[in-house]
Amino acid sequence: MSIDFTKRRVGAAVPLGALRGKDSVGVGEYPDLAEFAGLCAKSGVTLIQLLPVNDTGYESSPYSSISAFALNPLYIKIGAIPEAAAFRAEIDALGKRFEKYERFDYYEITGAKIRLLRAIFDANKEAIVLSAAPAGVLGTWIGHNGWVKGYAVYRRLKDANGQRGWKDWNKADRNGGGTSVEAAWADPAFREDHLFWAWLQVIADQQFSAAAKAVADAGILLEGDIPILMNEDSADVWEYPEIFNRDLSAGAPPDMYAPDGQNWGFPTYNWEHQEEDGYAWWKKRLETASKYYNAYRIDHVLGFFRIWASSCADVGAKLGRFIPYIPVKTADLTKLKFDEGRIRWLSRPHIRTDEVWDAVGGSREEAQRILDTVLDRIGSEELWLFKDCIHGEKDIAALPISSHARDCLLHAWSDRLFLEYRRGAYFPTWSYRETRAWASLSDDEKAGLEALLRERDKRSELLWEQEGRKLLETLTRSTTMLACAEDLGAVPDCVPKTLAALNILGLRVVRWTRQWEQGGQPYIPFEDYPELSVCTPAVHDSSTLREWWDTEADQNAFVAFIGAPSLPRVYNPGTARTLLRKVAGAASRFRVFQIQDLLHLSSRWYANDPSTERVNIPGTYSAFNWTWRLPAPIATLAQDDEFLNGVRELAAIQPTGKAAQGTGN
């Protein structure tokens, strides 16, 4: 069936696990997506955007997958498995145990479902093993999905090693690679264990494929989320170490929300190695996703242009750097009249003797221990450098010293103007203007360095554009899916230009789509949004529109921006209709709303505390994150006329003004 990707659409964004479908057992499941599509079709929604559904093991974050290809067994509807007919009582018990909770317990329900699936497998083992013959259903599927061998071996070894990360496995199990995987897969002692994990993937594939077909049959475009990075503890990093840089950790530079930056703990890609086989791993990843999706969202698309990478020895990302980047060289600094000693002053962290004494509160014993074991004195100066045995923040955090002393050393560690990441190659630290080295420079020296860094940024941006265009052009040409990009953060000018050239839809989050360089930081008018974009008032990492309005927004400024009469200070369905209608009129091709924001069109679906309606709170790790559920079953929502009519109104809205010109319908 041909899909019109140019059609303006109103979409609903929802985590699959949030759905409450028919016969739910505490978490949304693949077949529930078909029921949700019926609700969307009834309300005029023609796009469904999902969070990632790859296997994440016992980690709740969908962006922490342990496989680029395997689907999450958590979302299997056990009652729909033919072999599960004799386990009706156990399935009902699962529902009774978990269905009563407002948010699902990811760890507990994952464990319970895997145990029940294992029992079903064991009860039907003989027939399932027979089907693994080359001509059997399972055997044929494995033949077409060779990645499942490495995944199954990895999952079996993870179980055998107490769910620890592969770096902490028994020595004999740590080595991945094709030869090791093939040998392990062929070992008859583990055949049944491996086939169990492959069998789960067949079931997940069948159920998700059927649900995706139902979505398509309803005339709805299904958009999946492709996280750019892989978990360090994943089957892919374990099996294909050559395509990753495992000594670096990807993340994001400091900003107003994360002053120390974000260190995601995921390895960066070895693009040079991947280019040798034409990016086969990435192409296979997109090919697998295209079995289910018509469109895909590229998470953190900036990482294809440049990635913020930190040493694995650090905890935060304040001392990260962009890769690729044309470095400042020793010769550049020498040309600016900096000699060897001053280059050291700019690039290595220093700490004064009195700062150490203040940090230990006058404890001579602790001060002497730090000076003897952690620091090296510079000649006879009251100035010290860190010893070569200190490689990063993790080494400092592990020192047996007081918390005040540790904080002092950590602050000193990051207080440098340049990061020398390779001998004679320097990157300016994100906060270089706030360092003591910068404060010590003359105005002329500052001007000289600023000019040098502007020149490096300009040259580096050309490199970023070449890199991003090459990678994205290669990948988008390998699939028929429509590409959408999450292009938030510190976005270089080359990014929107490249996305537009490749017909990739960018992202416009209303609260952050502003003219940040102008006084008052005014919002950009909705009619000025690019047609080649996705507009949304909230995302899974932000508060809902309701919580934003009640606790974060400058309400007067936003009311003035949208040209509406005054609105209630406390969010209600009337406020929701006004704000969502304005967003729906944006010039963007897709206007996508979190399902929570759509439900607030009805007075029935307001939680007492709006913060409980969030999907995730970035930078935190708790049982709360990623476990939100719909406030009622899909069938109940489908009977709410206030909700349905409100969404239908949004779906019917056309752009106005400049936005109305040249728009597909």
**pLDDT of 8-38, one tens digit each?**
999 999 999 999 999 989 999 999 999 999 9
Q: At residue 656, does pLDDT exceed 80? A: no
What is the pLDDT averaged over residues 616-640? 95
Neighbours of 577 (CB within 10 A): 15
Confidence at 664, pLDDT banded by 50, 70, 90: very low
281, containing H or E segment: helix 280-289
| 593, β-bridge pairs | 12
Which residue ranges make up each domain of the chain? 9-239, 321-456, 505-660
Residue 15 and residue 52 in contact, taking contact as beta carbons nearer than 8 Å: no
Three-state SS for 135-184 is: CCHHHHHHHHCCHHHHHHHHHHHHHHCCCCCHHHCCHHHCCCCHHHHHHH
Cα 496 to Cα 511: distance, rounded to the nearest angstrom: 19
Residue 256 is predicted with a pLDDT of 78
Mean pLDDT of 175-189: 85
Question: According to the model, what pLDDT value does residue 601 have?
Answer: 98
Torsion sign (Cα): 421, 424, 427, 429 = positive
C-alpha distance from residue 477 to each of 296, 470, 473, 494, 495 (Å): 13, 11, 6, 20, 18
Quickly state the pLDDT bin for 258 (edges 50, 70, 90). Answer: confident
Position 622 pLDDT exceeds 90: yes
φ, ψ (nearest 5 deg) of residue 563 = 70, 35
Average pLDDT, the chain: 95
Q: Does residue 662 register a pLDDT over 60?
A: no
Mean pLDDT of 606-632: 95
Can you tell me the mean pLDDT for 300-322? 96
pLDDT value at position 489?
83
Per-residue model confidence (pLDDT) at position 534: 98
- Read off the pLDDT of residues 563-603 as tens digits, 9 standing for 90 and up: 988 899 999 999 999 999 999 999 999 999 999 999 999 99
- Kindly report the CATH number that applies to the domain delimited by 9-239: 3.20.20.80
Angle, vertex CA 486, rays to CA 482 and CA 492, nearest 5: 115
- The β-bridge partners of 427 are 419
Q: How confident is the model at residue 665 (pLDDT cuts 50, 70, 90)?
A: very low
pLDDT digits (tens, 9 = 90+) for 356-405: 999 999 899 999 999 999 999 999 999 999 999 999 999 999 999 999 99
- Cα 242 to Cα 245: distance, rounded to the nearest angstrom: 8
pLDDT tens figures, 45-64: 999 999 999 999 999 999 99
Write down the pLDDT at residue 174.
Answer: 83
The model's pLDDT over 448-496, given as tens digits with 9 standing for 90+, comes to 999 999 999 999 999 999 999 999 999 999 999 999 999 998 899 999 9
Q: Is residue 326 very low, low, confident or very high in pLDDT (cuts 50, 70, 90)?
A: very high
Residue for token pair 């170490």: 241
Query: For residue 342, what is the enclosing H or E element?
Result: helix 340-347
pLDDT reported for residue 178: 63
**For residue 575, what pLDDT is reported?**
97
Is-contact 538 509, C-beta < 8 A? yes
Q: What are the backbone angles phi and psi of residue 150, rounded to the nearest 5°?
A: -65, -40
DSSP calls for 457-510: HHHHHHHHHHHHHHHHHHHHTT-SSEEEE---SS--THHHHHHHHTT-BEEEEG
Tokens 């490096």 found at:
456
Strand-strand pairing, 506-509 and 221-226: unpaired
Q: Does 179 have pLDDT greater than 90?
A: no
Residue 201 per-residue DSSP state:
H
pLDDT reported for residue 660:
57
- Return d(Cα 377, Cα 350) in angstroms, integer: 10
- Mean pLDDT value across residues 594-613: 98
Question: What average pLDDT does this structure show over 185-200?
Answer: 97
